[in-house]
Structure 1
């Protein structure tokens, strides 16, 4: 399998899942306990991802084969 990287809307299903997983991991480590679904939703609501569209930015999803596996 190979990696591909492409621009994608920050609110696409794949991008949303990657962002949610990332926030869950970071918040859980910070609080030293599992983050709740509400905490994750609250954190993502004001994370600034809406600025990741041209001309102010761009959201990128990396896929390994067909599976979304990374983002930037």
Structure 2
């Protein structure tokens, strides 16, 4: 039995910018080999769906400008 772990990088701007209805796709091709040496190759597709995170307090930084 094979085990893998996939962790979404939530700090990645491409992930952070996803809105509801948008998605990103990671595609991996991998090969497995059994004890007889037989192999099989397949593709794993992971889709990351965007969601509305809502407003977060402190998420925005304020800036001010003055004109002389």
Q: Flag the structure with more relative contact order, 1 or 2, with Cα contacts below 8 A and sequence separation at least 6.
A: 1
Would you tell me which structure has more strand in proportion to its own residues? 2
Q: State the TM-score, normalized to the length of structure 1.
A: 0.24
**Higher share in helix:** 1
The structure with the largest alpha-carbon Rg is 2
